[in-house]
Chain A
Amino acid sequence: MQVPPRRLDRASGAGTLPGSAPVAFTEPVTEGRHRHPMTVTHADYRLSQLDQLEAESIHIFREVAAEFEKPVLMFSGGKDSIVMMRLAEKAFYPAKIPFPVLQVDTGYDFPEVLETRDNWVNRLGTRLIVASVEQAIADGVVVDDGKTSRNRLQIGTLLHAIEEEGFTAAFGGGRRDEEKARAKERVYSHRDDFGQWDPKNQRPELWSLYNGRIHGGEHMRVFPLSNWTELDIWHYLAQEQVEIPSIYYSHQRRVFLRDGMLLSESEHNPCKPGEEVVEKTVRFRTVGDLTLTGCVESEADTIEKIIEEIAVARVTERGATRGDDRFSEAAMEDRKKEGYF
């Protein structure tokens, strides 16, 4: 038998942990199987909006794990996919995450990001599948014509990996606040035999009743972070104190200016005539193909400083630093239809 958890005075607000619910410590639970034998109480049965988002996302993870034969989590190493990993960890604790993690390796990934990916996968003891764009090019799955970006080549590589492994549901870290096309996408986003999204023919999605029906060959993209904003992601990372790639924090980097974006110096991204490499104090707001992902000048070297910076930022994260979204106003919509994340 356990010692019944002692209720604290709800009204006092003592031990309030900002960013989450009020937390009160109690006597250790005798069974001792929990790492943190503490009791959480909530004033007035209210949850903060961040706790509500967490609860909604955990519900989605559990729904998919229960209803799909072969789910997979698409993990880029970026902050959104790290929040997904954290939510998946919470959804099934103390069991391990009941699905593998898939990363599409563009060959142009930041080494810091791969390191974080490996640390997460090792800590959670989950299986990592790497789908390599280079390998896909070598195998003739996708064609590198020298003009197509690695981000674009990821689409074919990803769809091939999903088909090859027979995944029926793939979790993606997309958020509706990112972009206008995403604002209309469902949490469960149905993909046809060709992995395509049909924005005009989406299934209605009501209450929290998700429809996971698919036919053979089709799969479902699932977006558990649909209702999170960029700021929510950072608040959550600050609250959870989990590892994110170091390139999100301010650091010294050799960069050059191209199309109004600061890009990292790299063997994969040779400078064109007239482009000059300079050292600056920068950080990245998003993480992707390093030939297309720009950084911003920033002194923010802690999550708290990043949050302050974002709270006053006046340019969307994609608009500021993602070359792949800038080609046309409908760029994201086009790539999504083809089967992009």
Chain B
Amino acid sequence: MAADQDNETGSTQHTLDELGVGSMDLLRFATAGSVDDGKSTLIGRLLLDSKAIFEDQLEAVEATSQSKGYDYTDLALLTDGLRSEREQGITIDVAYRYFATPSRKFIIADTPGHVQYTRNMVTGASTADLGLVLVDARQGLTEQSRRHAVLLSLLRVPHMVLAINKMDLVDYDQAVFDRIHREFTSFATKLSIPDLEVIPISALKGDNVVTRSEHMPWYQGSSLMHHLENVHVASDRDLIDARLPVQYVVRPKSDEFHDYRGYAGQVAGGVFKPGDEVIVLPSGLTSRIAGIDLFDREVAEAFPPMSVTLRLEDDVDVSRGDMIARVKNAPKPSQDIDAMVCWMTNKPLQPRQKLAIKHTTRTGRALVKDVQYRLDVNTLHRDQDAGELGLNEIGRVQLRTTVPLLCDPYAKNRTTGSFILIDEATGVTVGAGMIT
């Protein structure tokens, strides 16, 4: 519509505008379900029906299905990536899938549902706006579906969809749907799930996946795709508490930009504007924002998740790992950290253990002071005698860090409230923490 005003490249812009590129937004969602819940089939169907699957991919899958003697095309084959998975017929790792409708692009973190792969589910959920949990209508809620809901709640995924699948195998019976729905909502009262949608579907037959099903006239809600396209995620960000973890100091040292000194980073919360009075942590020095640069332009405001470069009016000492915040609203630097930790390696997490920690752009070392309890993700029981956390276990841990972390509670800000723990000998990521 505005193409005429920008004369330089008017024709290009007009075409792009027609394609809706400028207004298309993004939804990241994580899927979870057991091997037999039909998750891969559902994803295959979403990709197929949104035309994200190409002819050659579909042909390869049809050929494989035929050679295996299946009665129908196994859409799960579309998403099973690694050779060992194809051989074993299971999904073993987080895989990312992409599809788009005219209004939204979707990134799916497709995570396996088995017991031993909690870490993958946590990984997938860490960046998700929405969590999609599948249950088999014939089985009802299982230990695993409860666990998935608990993990989504723990990871503060703001939206959740419970898709009750295989409705075709229970004659599209409303009573089955109602029973599972009731059972789940009663369980969910103990969790933090701000937005829940329960949808009866058949991934195999396509009921309520993209279009409303004719087989379930008793269901008045949206199809899954309609819900995914319309769920409101823009308000999920924290636009109040301004936070910029400094990633990199830009110093061109060129004749043209001789005195330029900019602090580059991705805004983690709030809105920054030129003229704002800011504080640099942990030093506590204050200054004002002289300008906010986005490549070769100046912008009037910076908000999450923009990657920008801030210039300050005063020549204060700022380096990587520092945090720029508003003077009257800054996180408190702390070396004593209480967090929920998901442990991701065989050797258990134990008191007195030393680990490397990465929080925003800050790295340091951490000493495990105490494992206060282990959370049973099936019953939500807190085992205070656990003393340690094994692989795929989650619990509350007290850490003492060598450097102060400039953090917020995870419930308030998923970026400034999260950290990873790294084994110093192997360099492997062994834990994921959410600050309480």
Give the B-binding residues of A (Cβ under 8 A): 2, 4-7, 13-21, 23, 29, 33-42, 44-56, 58-59, 62-63, 65-66, 89-96, 176-177, 180-181, 183-184, 199-200, 202-209, 211, 213-215, 226-227, 229, 231-232, 235, 238-239, 241, 303-304, 307, 311, 313-316, 319-320, 329-330, 333
Contacts and interface: CB of A to CB of B under 8 A. Distances in A.
A217 B122 CA distance: 31
Contacts of B123: 204-206
Interface stretch (B140-148, B382-390, B420-428): B420-428
Contacts of A229: 98, 100, 105
Given A63-B247, A203-B428, A207-B418, 14 more contacts: A18-B17, A40-B298, A59-B307, A62-B307, A94-B256, A95-B257, A95-B260, A181-B81, A184-B93, A184-B96, A203-B429, A207-B127, A211-B420, A215-B427
Interface residues of B, number: 101
13 contacts: A14-B2, A21-B22, A34-B296, A39-B297, A40-B294, A52-B26, A92-B248, A176-B96, A199-B82, A204-B120, A209-B360, A213-B428, A227-B96
A33 B298 CA distance: 11
A233 to B, nearest CB: 12
Given A59-B307, A95-B251, A5 B300 contact: yes
Contacts of A333: 81-83
Given A5-B298, A50-B24, A33 B427 contact: no
A177 B250 CA distance: 32
A89 B422 CA distance: 31
Contacts of B17: 16, 18-19
Given A36-B297, A183-B95, A203-B429, A62 B264 contact: yes
B265 A62 contact: yes
Contacts, number: 277
B80 interface: yes
B139 interface: no
B16 A42 contact: no
B213 to A, nearest CB: 27
Contact of B296 (A58, A94, A226): A94
Interface in B63-104: 79-84, 86, 92-98, 100, 104
Contacts of B398: none
B299 interface: yes
A120 to B, nearest CB: 16
B247 A66 contact: yes
B16 A19 contact: yes
A31 to B, nearest CB: 9
B83 A330 contact: yes
B338 to A, nearest CB: 18
Contacts of A38: 297-298
Contacts of B16: 18-19, 235, 238-239, 304
Contacts of B344: 204
B247 A319 contact: no
A13 B2 contact: yes
A331 B385 CA distance: 50
Contacts of B100: 229, 231
Nearest to A228: B98
B303 interface: yes
B175 interface: no
B395 interface: no
Contacts of B13: 17-19
B228 to A, nearest CB: 14
B286 interface: no
B21 A19 contact: yes
A40 B260 contact: no
Given A18-B14, A34-B298, A319 B54 contact: yes
Contacts of B127: 206-208
B418 A316 contact: no
A49 B297 contact: no
Interface in B108-132: 119-120, 122-123, 126-127
Contact of A48 (B21, B254, B299): B21
A262 to B, nearest CB: 16
B291 to A, nearest CB: 6
